[in-house]
Chains A and B, each alone.
Chain A
Amino acid sequence: GQNIDQPTEMTATEGAIVQINCTYQTSGFNGLFWYQQHAGEAPTFLSYNVLDGLEEKGRFSSFLSRSKGYSYLLLKELQMKDSASYLCAVRGRGQNFVFGPGTRLSVLP
């Protein structure tokens, strides 16, 4: 079967660092994606990992361990505008995408 798990909700303080974890079990693996989605808006692509290790992009970093079926999204210097849902998705066999349920992040002042 295919399964992706993420925490449902997280809360952090403005200026802090937060790590959103994602674990997956999928048929095949052709990359892991992170998206940000503000309420009522379309998702925005954040990052893509296909090899093990850390990919850094400004305040956002994403890590992948294929052997552990594990990824995390690290957000530094949190801002109020980072309050959103964060979706983890795996592209598996046949280039099919499977999405996790999303993590709703609330950034408090």
Chain B
Amino acid sequence: DSGVTQTPKHLITATGQRVTLRCSPRSGDLSVYWYQQSLDQGLQFLIQYYNGEERAKGNILERFSAQQFPDLHSELNLSSLELGDSALYFCASSGRVADNTQYFGPGTRLTVL
């Protein structure tokens, strides 16, 4: 158990809908990272937050947005969902900026029908 929690574990929805994925980092970790993993694209970095501020941005679509709240949990919002958004979404956390060890949550499996 990495100490990172993600909810829900599974999510099934329809095209055009909007969903919110939630991540709680390990106690004391300030950084949260979001990743998408699909069979054809591999693991893709989406975005990183550090202590509530956006720190790095990867291949995140405009239909996707994220935020980190004062209690350090984070949410990833996916809107206007398409079939191709079906994937595993992982959240990871790490400590301070110089701490490069990332601890991954169990992931949320999103299926868009």
The distance in angstroms between the C-alpha atoms of A87 and B104, with both chains bound, is 14
- Interface SS majority for chain B: strand
Contact with B along A8-47 (1 / 0, CB 8 A): 0000000000000000000000010100000001111100
From A31, A96, A102, B100 is in contact (CB under 8 Å) with: A31
* Distance from B43 Cβ to chain A, minimum over Cβ atoms (Å): 4
Interface size class of A (residues with CB under 8 A): 10 to 19
Residue from B43, B55, B100, B104 within 8 A of A48 (CB atoms) = B100
**Nearest CB of chain B from residue A41's CB, rounded to whole Å:** 8
A-B contact count (CB 8 A): 47
Contact of A95 with B101 in the complex, beta carbons under 8 Å: no
- Mark B residues whose CB is within 8 Å of A: 2, 33, 42-45, 48, 55-58, 90, 92, 100-107
A97 lies within 8 A of chain B by Cβ: yes
Could you tell me if B103 and A45 are in contact, using CB atoms closer than 8 angstroms?
yes
Interface of A with B (CB < 8 Å)?
Answer: 31, 33, 41-45, 48, 87, 89, 94-102
7 contacts between A and B (CB under 8 A): A33-B102, A44-B104, A89-B43, A94-B56, A94-B57, A97-B58, A99-B42
CA separation between A45 and B107, bound complex, in Å? Answer: 15
List, in ascending order, chain B residues with CB within 8 A of A41's CB. Answer: 106
